[in-house]
Amino acid sequence: MSVTLVVVPSDDRAGLGYIFRRAGMSAPDSIPSSSRIEKIDIHPESGQWVVHLASPGVAAFSEECCELICLAFHKILGDRCDAQVKLAAAAAAVDASGLERCWERVVERVLDCAPSVGVWLGQARCRIDGDCMIVEVPGEVQRTKLAERGCASLISDALHHVAGVRMAVMIDVGEFDAPRDPPEDDVCMPSDADAASAPPQLPAPSPATEKRRGRRRRVVTDEGAIRGRWFTDPAQPVSSLVQGQKKAVARGEVFGYVERLTRTGLKIVSFSITDREDSIMCKCFCDPEEPSFGLTEGQWARVRGEVQYDQYAREIVLAVSDIMPDSAPTRHDTSPDKRVELHLHTK
């Protein structure tokens, strides 16, 4: 029984420009810039690599272009294998309205294969530009996260499964409507012009009214916790957090700690944590009288809260309710045969 390995490259390595740079060659002008590698079939027994190319204009690939692509692979791989180039079938024409009708099913198919990307596909939309599908997201953070996870290939496969159409997919930052109301977490810093044109000050509200307006549930901090309750729930990788989780637990190194005061007198504490694989912003809504958490850059913490989409930050954040101190993970060599790494400088 023959075995075939199928490799789907990530978005940043699927372009032919990357292959030519690795081979130390210049990409020919005759190859479209949107050309990319759809997949690679590897036959271990024969040492043959079949490179499937996808391009909005597959007819633009001449025999000379295919030979140059094979030469680039031979320079990278040497004599260990034999590379062949195959062109993907041209994508069938799809009208924009038909694509919009099947977009939700395409997203569902992607989430079935990779549930974690649902965090970043929450507000994505699509449009057709020629023979290419453009997936637009609200910000650069979403675009980067989806590119790191090879989401363009996932969407292309899902579209082929749902609509029977194979198209090149690009992820880009689109223009989305900004929130109508000003962000609640904006710092109250009026300009001189605003202060000059401001209406006369109204009488200050009575203490009882002010107390009702600023009333918030008092946060009880357990002994040993930084804020909120002491908990022992295991932490999950930051990359696996999904929008809608109610009591998600994550741990990581703290950075970007900021405390701000809103126009309504509410204090918002925001910081980010990273587990060295992925990162997420954390937010806490506190009373102005609540003491500072005392978190410092580089400190490790374990947080628990709800994963939400923040329309002002335009990314997924963790609305934190409980914070506990944590320690950085340590590496242990459990191998019975210990190893040593050798480092050598040569001329």
* Average pLDDT rounded to a whole number, residues 100-113: 80
Question: Does residue 219 surpass a pLDDT of 80?
Answer: no
Q: How confident is the model at residue 92 (pLDDT cuts 50, 70, 90)?
A: very low
Would 5-87 and 96-173 be classified into the same CATH topology? yes
Model pTM above 0.85: no
Cα 10 from Cα 87, distance rounded (Å):
19
For residue 170, the number of C-alpha atoms closer than 13 Å in the C-beta half-sphere is: 18
- Of the chain, the end-to-end C-alpha distance in Å amounts to 47
pLDDT band at 34 (very low <50, low <70, confident <90, very high): low
CATH number of the domain located at residue range(s) 192-325 in this protein: 2.40.50.140
pLDDT band at 18, cuts 50/70/90? confident
Q: Where are the domains of the chain?
A: 5-87, 96-173, 192-325
**Helix, strand or coil for residue 48?**
strand
| CATH of segment(s) 5-87 | 3.30.300
Instruction: Work out the average pLDDT over 192-215.
Output: 45
Overall average pLDDT of the 138-160 stretch: 80
Residue with the bigger pLDDT between 102 and 271: it is 271
Q: Dump pLDDT digits (tens) for 51-68.
A: 777 654 444 566 777 778
Instruction: Quote the CATH superfamily of domain 96-173.
Output: DnaA, N-terminal domain (3.30.300.180)
* Burial grade of 50 (CB within 10 A; 0-12, 13-18, 19 or more): middle
| pLDDT on residue 195 | 46
Separation CA 245–CA 321 (nearest Å) = 13
Cα-based distances in Å from 34 to 56, 282, 324? 7, 37, 48
